[in-house]
Structure 1
């Protein structure tokens, strides 16, 4: 590195890297003058025997530090350094593996040792490096969470199948002989229904029917199923929420097994599924409140246990669902039966299954048109009880008052449909802003057909109106990722969150808005963002690479947001969504820049595709 301009560039780079920031100008210049630069492709490794020796500093790329058992000890990114000889004190088995093509500055061993001998802070950093790596290893090698295993690992494959034209007596005899509590009704390899001990009790004996009645007359038709690749968590959650005792397991469209409640017993008291189950058994708001008070601590445990952002979001959403459902049930117990069919609606992140901590309420009620005006007060009372209960349990009142306790969002189906149609036909700025919440819709409780009817109107109106889609696209484009010139982060310059950016508003929401726009334009009913992006591939409306890039960007950003909130919980701070890019490791910074760049490119595509409607 003899060129003066090159030396200056390297010096400036190292000034921002530990522990070179501890060196004087003279020491830094002396070190850089003896450095060499080299390129190393993905897959190359460095061991104690690698020559030449010295301190290696990553100018770009990334490397893993692994022990003799291939256990990951640390992951290094731009600006971080390693000396293999120093990391191998004792066993000589630690290696550095290049995982992204890397440009490396090497400080020869003589110059490296000279700096350590003359600068105490520089020496102290590398003296403690190996122990720091070992202490941090647990962060990269979390204990596997049993709930993430595939349901195929516990399901029963030896299943009993019967014909729909068999008699109940024949089916019951076979069940007794096999000592099973369920039989699956199959014809031509197609699963038609399920017959359980409970069906025999409630639909045959309790009704006074004899054993000659056909199975098809008393079975549960078209039962819900789960894939053999789905996790134990997803299976247990579905069975707990729906109160299933038997769940058919499918593989390539064929019935391959059954999972029962006894298959899913777990030992941990703080398991999320058990928490959902405990919430469902509470008989007061205070009881629910006591259970969810420790939510932050539990989230930290789940993250340390190896759960990733999508699973954590799914868990936290399931818990908020359980809280809302139990509060509704308690309100119904006080008020008596509803005057007519209705459904409790969740909007926004709860509807998408993407909540983290700190979520506020976004909900509504849709009521059957057959309910008379004088009966509507029942729904008002229920809404107020539930919204107040949610607030007591930590789910803040919506700042925009988008809650069922507001009469505007507690209406008959026809009124809801009229509102949606007016939004689509006159896309004012206010209407477009509301769409960002209301078009992510999920029925949480009650008659789900009402919610489906409302969603079908939403999809029809949105997909058939190019002006409305253009207005929605313009709204998407207003929320730019926070990257400026030369891919520098754009952060708040003053105020409470100085030098930080809102990772939810500037990172998560742009991806959800992009996926929502494309889903509405193509009349896709999925609400979860990852599911929308996957469905866009299947429907031929998005390239696989674009869908996967946006999904990866979303999961990475959500992971940063989750880690940020976990750190706040551990410090005892209130959780928020503001992260400081300066506080991120270099590799994470580059990954965040890449995620924002993916979003920016997706927005550019939207500008091109919806330009005609905007004009």
Structure 2
């Protein structure tokens, strides 16, 4: 007898991926095993850290919000509506849900049993690919052009490449695995596993795999009394051994383990059982291969208990950056991820520092990053630049409040130093009394910089216009922004000085289009990519955004995009500047990793002809944007 409910479910599913890749008869069978779930508005489907359900869900009608809790606030990450899939995590990960799923209106969902649907996943390449890409990017529908590239992790959306490259890169395997022969006793094998603290051992003959024994075999075959510990390995080993080659991706390995219901794969020289054993891959290897996943790093950061744990996270972040560069992920996307994790590391350091203090903060305060951190462009482990603002207090309480925040800032900067962010040699840090001030003092400071902009003052203050709110009371920072905008109104003198500073570094090519290199000193004959390439673009973007009163865009690339939208007549120049900045930043980042330095100086002799051409082409927009500055601020004679 026909089931009209199942037919309605199948008729709906056939119009949405990945179900459209299945035949109608298959969909009818799946629908017969599915359930209809009704959710009232605000009803919870599952919560963060809940154990995985035995079903995954497809939204039929209504809307279900996906959210996380951060800083005691509920943050909506995504909203799933008709045809969107929710809760596929149990297919791929054996841990709990990472988000809350709550109905935002009355909703109908189709609940499809995971155990039953698995066979269709493994039998249909299109279905498995869809679900893998959805899981790898945390995207509800990776084939939806409207949402293409939206990646929901802990508290931010990223372009899907940032996470997918982690998931589809080659997995690292354990080399030189411990092996035994089939005549070894179970007791001997167990003793070896205990000695080397391993969960499996490959049984070999002439260096070829013939079986494998795991903890599971010992539990189910020995502990239950089915076999004796004096029996030989060939009695309890699992066979045949499933083998793979050395270059399989994380996704391929995880899918194969799921399909076969196993937790270990033997790596052989050509991927077959007829070749030499060279390694082993366990479920633990799959997990650790994803340890540099941005969402995982964010989660670990929020749970870190000390500076050493934060240091380990920052080390993993460095690996993530290197992998991203190797995979040619756009530098702008890498910067977004790194900036978010750097910010969360700083937030956690402040939380830990407050815990270390004898009392809670005596007044509202705000921590800001300045310079490259404020612009969210710190990819390398360079020094830290930050400042602290605290709310105005009575004169009687001022000294005590300021001393508290200086001590707090000292703990934070020292902790960040342990993590790997070196202390600023110029002491432009919140632990310096000069950069730990009340809001009124900061207003006076900016008033002085803007209205008395002697060239020395400009050199000092320019990075303080690249600030990013990190922690505390944002309204304090907003108050400073209002003060800045008020003071720069029609302030021709200020813009003249800032313009002159922006023009101090001309395009770094000589008359014959040769690179202008350092003439002497430690870096003689090297090219200063930061000072001669990046800084002119940074300075120009800062100046032009200030003059246009563009707020909330401190990142250089984002600044040029804002300028491009605001001034269509100059859009081509600003877009070229953004692209040039990306190219130069990538050169610097690669050099920093290669030489374990700040990446500022390039040895041109080591660059290929093509790289030199890319570098030269990146300098062309500098001349164009500087010409805009000369004309706009009438600096022909000033400079």
TM range (shorter): 0.5 to 0.7
Distance 2:617 2:444 in 1: 42
Q: Of 294, 306, 323, which residue of structure 2 is paired with 1:284? A: 306
After superposition, the Cα gap between the structure-2 partners of 1:240 and 1:337, relative to the gap in structure 1 and judged at 3 Å, is farther
Q: Alignment partner of 1:306: what SS?
A: coil
Which 4+ runs in 1 deviate beyond 6 A?
Answer: 193-198
**1:610 and 2:596 equivalent?**
no
Q: Is the 8 A contact 1:327 1:389 kept in 2?
A: yes
Matched, 1:302 2:292: no
Q: CA RMSD in A?
A: 3.6
Which residue in the other structure is 2:514 paired with? 488
| Residue aligning to 1:81 | none
Give yes or no for contact 1:459–1:524 (8 Å, CA) kept in 2. no
CA contact (8 A) 1:345 1:364 kept: yes
8 Å CA contact retained: 2:527, 2:602? yes
Alignment pair present for 1:342 and 2:365: yes
2:487 counterpart of 1:461: yes
Whether the 8 Å CA contact 1:508–1:558 is kept in 2: the answer is yes
Contact 1:441 1:455 in 2 (8 A): no
CA offset at residue 605 of structure 1? 2.3
2:585 aligned residue: 558
Distance 2:532 2:147 in 1: 34
The C-alpha deviation readout for 1:526-563, integer Å capped at 9, x for no partner, is 21112211111222376210111111111111121222
**Matches of 1:472 and 1:607 in 2, distance apart?**
11
Alignment-derived partner of residue 509 in structure 1 = 535
Would you say 1:595 and 2:608 are equivalent positions?
A: no
CA distance in structure 2 between the partners assigned to 1:202 and 1:560 by the alignment = 39
For residues 382 and 175 of structure 1, what CA distance do their matches in structure 2 show?
41
SS at structure 2 position matched to 1:366 = strand
1:584 aligns to 2:592 (yes or no): no
Structure 1 residue 196 displacement after superposition: 8.1
**In the alignment, what sits opposite 1:416?**
442
Query: 1:473, 1:610 within 8 Å by CA — same for their partners in 2?
Result: yes
Could you say what secondary structure the match of 1:411 adopts? strand
2:350 is matched with which residue? 328
Match of residue 548, structure 2, among 516, 522, 540: 522
2:382 maps to: 359
Q: Distance in 1 between matches of 2:476 and 2:482?
A: 10
Further displaced range: 589-598 or 388-397: 589-598
Using the alignment, how far apart are the partners of 2:360 and 2:515 within structure 1?
A: 55
1:380-425 CA distance string (max 9 Å, x none): 1110000111111111111221100011111111110111011111
Looking at structure 1, the residues matched to 366 and 623 of structure 2 have their Cα atoms a distance apart, in angstroms, of: 38
Aligned residue in 1 for 2:60: none
Q: Structure 1 length as normaliser, TM-score?
A: 0.58
- How far 1:612 sits from its partner (Å)? 5.9
Distance 1:509 1:267 in 2: 37
Q: Aligned equivalents of 2:459 and 2:376: distance in 1?
A: 20
Deviation at 1:481, TM superposition (A): 2.8
CA distance 1:542–1:378, change in 2 (3 Å): farther
Equivalent residue, structure 2, for 1:396: 422
Q: 1:475 is matched with which residue?
A: 501
**1:27-42 aligned within 5 A:** none
Is residue 580–residue 619 contact of structure 2 (8 Å, CA) maintained in 1?
A: yes
- Out of 421-430 and 531-540, give the one that drifted further: 531-540
- Going from structure 1 to structure 2, the CA distance change for 1:276 and 1:481 (only over 3 Å counts) comes to farther
For structure 1, list consecutive stretches of 5 or more residues without a partner in the other structure.
Answer: 1-151, 155-170, 183-190, 204-214, 217-225, 242-264
1:132-151 → structure 2 map (5 Å cutoff):
none
Q: Does 1:427 align with 2:344?
A: no
CA distance in structure 1 between the partners assigned to 2:536 and 2:365 by the alignment: 32
Distance 1:405 1:489, change over 3 A: same
Unaligned 5+ runs, structure 2: 1-15, 19-37, 49-62, 75-103, 106-139, 159-286
Mapping of 1:88-487 within 5 angstroms? 173-176=40-43, 179=45, 229=147, 231-232=149-150, 235-236=152-153, 238-239=155-156, 268-335=290-357, 336-370=359-393, 372-373=397-398, 374-487=400-513
Answer yes or no: is the 8 Å Cα contact 1:325–1:445 preserved in 2.
yes
SS in 1 for 2:450: helix
Distance 1:356 1:410 in 2: 26
Which structure's relative contact order is higher, taking Cα pairs within 8 Å and 6+ residues apart?
Answer: 1
CA distance in 2, matches of 1:366, 1:396: 22
Give the structure 2 partner of residue 536 of structure 1.
563
Taking the aligned partners of 2:505 and 2:486, their CA distance within structure 1 comes to: 26
Contact 2:564/2:575 (8 A) holds in 1: no
Q: TM-score, normalised by structure 2?
A: 0.56
Aligned-residue offset at 1:333: 1.1
Query: How many pairs are equivalent?
Result: 389
